[in-house]
Structure 1
């Protein structure tokens, strides 16, 4: 397959060039885990953020964000952080989730899922599902409407969000209300033109190969990989929650995100797809850019539609088996 260069928006080119090397390898992993990356727009509103340990062995910590003046039956966004499955933390989403809490009067929960290669698949998925179960089981205490719990994630978090939607559908205990997939890391095979492009910013081919190999462990490069490990391999996408799929035109994940969105729509899933011209992977780092303002506008307009007005608590989110 011929390789190509995906052009980055002119305003972002000097910002990208000024970034330190971010290629993920075994040798660079410890350094990458020390980098703190901004997660999105800064919130000037006051929110209450509390960490809770929801499982003791192995320990699983979640961070719950709530507006101090929040309502008693609010929608909830379950946030799964990015980082190629190998770095990142719940703190990476603090700014963005706090901003959404005050913008939409919702609750947001982020999870410190286990990282690869120390904890390969299915550890991160198990932690994500454990957190979803905890959110629903504690909905009354947290002031959450279980009928409006959705999942959001950028990059590897988007891949986990897509996998969690599949897993929750098949388990049948919970019905997610929506999924927001931002530049999602969906397909380990790296066969698309964009995934093989030259000079990819932020997350290049080498990083992607390392991230997938670390996450999949002994399952890497196998033909019968479970769809829960790489949602892009899923055969049946029917019955999944409404989706927003947004990806940059200069992102190596562009083609797999577009393909996944088309397949969601073909399966009857209400799906909005946006390809933001000139946006590289990790565009969330450039919060003051015009490209990121456009990106945020798309995401927040869509979220405003699915979170909707205050409504009565719904029993649809928890089903009796």
Structure 2
């Protein structure tokens, strides 16, 4: 990308990845260091994702982690990519992100998803047995959350007299943190469009649906008080290293971790050595190859070309990189090389 162009913003989605041989404490410390580095390199946002019951993911409590990251940084936008709204009472989410917004005004994003982010048994534990999966449930929860954040329940509503504190009522003039809808299909794309909200699509694990979902979002879009035109971000799997071979080797760790997750056996992110030595069946090799086909892998020139092609093909307004690889130093170096490939740093 030419330095003369106004670049599409580049951001990071992090899972506080726990690799084999590391602890969650070390993973959270590495995520904190990565957020500081990302701010210095010029990344636009740094989001963390809610997952539960996964040994290889330490970002189970986004609001808590975001408070820590905000205290450790100064300017980078921070947010949830996302909070899985059906797992929580909307009032609790309003209070948590109202607090974050009050502490760090202008820096907090509230990204919301409707998947559980875990297996059915853990979802039942989170939701205390309330597994309402109807199409109307998520829009209802979302509407309730927005009313709490805006302090504007209509007259006669059961929650009319309730207030989220901190919130607009307790901190006038601060507005609310921007709400994003996250998705990997057309449901959230259409809902985000109808509500005039920014949309984040999970291209990194649903690549075949990316262009149709973005088209649906743009076609459904209605201007709102918060957004006059569609704004779409896509999650992008990317692994960069000093050589193409080294990048491919690192990417194998994340692919094996995903294979185990899809098989119902989530674990720590394996080492590159373990991934190379794994006795893949034909079906497993097909899955891994298919997964890696949607990850941008290589050295700086290859990553630069891959990001530019993806940006042009999707028309995304923002790219959010996620690198699920083993080893904190390798992960940090990968993001640094991505920043270099994208022209953020020399």
The answer to which structure has the higher strand fraction is 1
Q: TM-score, normalised by structure 2?
A: 0.33
Greater helix content:
2
Determine which structure has greater relative contact order: mean sequence separation of CA pairs < 8 Å that are 6+ residues apart, divided by chain length: 1
TM-score, with length taken from structure 1: 0.35
Q: Which has the larger radius of gyration?
A: 2
